[in-house]
Chain A
């Protein structure tokens, strides 16, 4: 068990800044997800924590101990990769026992620990098999068992579910989270999949362009994204973001739509914009409610039945399409006029100049 502290950790590859100076404290037992598109610096950050990559500057502390220049084997962390990296010529049991054998542990202890982890991961029946004969999910379970058996201070996982198909990914996602709830080992988990990040993380570190965009709980990054990038990246579809002009309590959107700003937002908005009018109105698809007397209007561009619900794509002006999540009964034809309202509690605003969210004083 361990806390992990990153102090102004930075990585450059020649001219390229892969990770800009980054500060992050991960508490003992926490499950933190590094989330972002490919090339954002998340994997490099994880590799620096593990010691597989050196830092250009900054310090890394593990339980207060400076490990910045320690070899990976001296850091007491276990790494789980997207590709299982199992020894194909060894049995499942030998694979799992390997890290303990390498440490010269006694036979008795090895047997006991192996039994413990295979019970947790429910792979006892596979012990004699060769990894090559197993399904992708079982191979990843073996890789997890091998990481777990050492009882490291922290787990570092790099897209461990990336190679699995959608269905298995869902199952393994729940299994890894259960494992974490049972073991409470500090975990840093890298993914580009926002659903995985939301479902698994105690906290999410959203990264883009080598920089942290926001650190927060799933609820914080979902309801109160720090900027336009996070608003777009989290959610499927992402937050609707519509350009407009703010004046006299109204946001004038392109075309004829006018949105009356909820009273609680008027002052913060005026303060944040400092007299500028350009503003971005943001709302999640479920914050919009179709209503024949709704204040906003558009026409149906497409409608998607997703099984349990429908997503309406509504054109509110030339090439400005917003998504509205609605119940399944409605499947209007293309071109049908639609009116809708926004839940005032779920409306957000962004300053297009800085791309940052406008904050109310008291957030929820």
Chain B
């Protein structure tokens, strides 16, 4: 039995269909990520699960039982927001103890102390327990906010972009902490983000949400390697996937505006379609089958983005290290044919029937 299941959830706000028949389920101990752009309906979904918002249609099930009639407190879920929402005049200790001391729970003080200390240890904030939260840095505050959620061992964690207000280095560090914690505690987590890197790196499974509908569900590898639509293909991966208009003629696929032609795969390809090539699957090789011209290089250190001009198109290629290629040079390159993605003009992935 799934721990959490959403069945056909729809929600309308004046003038906008926020959610349109959203269904997904995840298991005990799973880290499930809801990924989508701003306005996709991610936060509304979380708020419905938490009971902060009421759906128009559909049902939320916890361990197989509908919880639609329960109040937020009765649902026993913990919410971590993008904004920290800590009590600034209280110490870190009192902030962490707060959920345990709530009249609903009435935890004995000795137990509060041991749970607070245990939580602070896990999040590496034990040295901050006596500080007022107003004196903390952004990263420390977010650790406290996460601590306040995990201190009481709820059935489910709901996290709404908890890392997005932090700077890049801190986000990276906390991402790892959060994931490690989730895995070692085995807590069930639904994490919402618009950041594809957060989704790929943290999730056991991802559901991609766009305009109130689930577009695809799967493991990070599924989402990255077999995107179901061009929307998903463009949403994950940096730099973005090359998406090119192409046509089939017998056994040959030709890319419009470029003179590139490839062997057609064993797929039911229509005459016109879209070809997706991830930048790492375009590789400069002295004996590569294709010829282009280096238009721009972006050395990032660990890798370099090459912009290759090919006819009227610019292809992005991602190569390891600091590439030796110079702007204006001719360049031969190969394309990893087995890694190509084909989409119909309806934007859906073309698969073998």
A301 within 8 A of B: yes
A129 at the interface (CB under 8 A from B): no
Question: If the complex has contacts A218-B322, A304-B176, A307-B224, are A334 and B302 also in contact, measured as CB distance less than 8 A?
Answer: no
A205 within 8 A of B: no
- Decide yes or no: A170 and B179 within 8 Å by CB, A177-B298, A236-B172 being known contacts: no
Q: Are B299 and A219 in contact (CB under 8 A)?
A: yes
Report yes or no: B169 in contact with A238, Cβ–Cβ below 8 A: yes
One of B16-24, B236-244, B253-261 contacting the partner: B236-244
Per-position 1/0 for B313-332, Cβ under 8 A of A: 00000101110000100000
User: Shortest Cβ distance from B172 into chain A, in angstroms?
Assistant: 6
Q: Compute how far the CA of A286 lies from the CA of B321 in the bound complex, rounded to whole angstroms.
A: 9
Shortest beta-carbon distance, A315 to chain B, in Å?
Answer: 10
Q: Does B296 contact A (CB under 8 A)?
A: yes
Q: Give every chain A residue within 8 A of B197 (Cβ-Cβ).
A: 306
Give the residue of A199, A301, A328 whose beta carbon is less than 8 angstroms from that of B305. A199
Closest to B328 in A: A181
- Does A178 contact B296, Cβ atoms closer than 8 Å? yes
Which of A286, A308, A311, A325 neighbours the largest number of chain B CB atoms within 10 Å of its CB?
A308
For window 290-307 of chain B, which residues contact chain A by CB distance below 8 Å? 295-296, 298-302, 305, 307
Q: CB of A52 within 8 A of chain B?
A: no
Interchain CB contact (< 8 A) of B298 among A174, A301, A311, A313: A174
Q: Within 8 Å CB of A219, what residues of B?
A: 299, 322
CA distance A232 to B322 in the complex (A): 18
Given known A173-B298, A235-B302, contact A181–B320 (CB-CB < 8 A): no
Q: A301-B180, A302-B176, A305-B221 are in contact. Are A198 and B201 (CB under 8 A)?
A: no
Q: For residue A353, give the distance in angstroms from its CB to the closest CB of chain B.
A: 24
A132 proximal to B (CB < 8 A):
no
Q: Tell yes or no: A15 within 8 A of B by CB.
A: no
Chain A residues within an 8 Å CB radius of B201: 304-306, 311
Once bound together, how far apart are the Cα atoms of A246 and B72, in whole Å?
Answer: 58
Residues of chain A within 8 A (CB-CB) of B202 are 304
- B 210-231 to A, binary, CB cutoff 8 A, 1 in contact else 0: 0000000000110010000000
A308 to B224, CA, bound (A): 9
How long is the Cα–Cα vector from A219 to B302 in the complex, in angstroms? 10
- CB atoms of B327 and A181 under 8 A apart: yes
A189 contacts partner chain B, Cβ-Cβ < 8 Å: no
**Per-residue B-contact encoding for A209-228, CB less than 8 Å = 1, 0 else:** 00000000011001100000
Residues in chain A within 8 A of chain B (CB atoms):
37, 166-167, 170, 173-174, 177-178, 181, 193, 195, 198-200, 218-219, 222-223, 232, 234-238, 284-286, 301-302, 304-308, 311, 313, 321, 325, 328, 334
Q: Which 5 A-B pairs have the closest CB atoms?
A: A304-B201, A199-B298, A222-B301, A308-B280, A307-B224
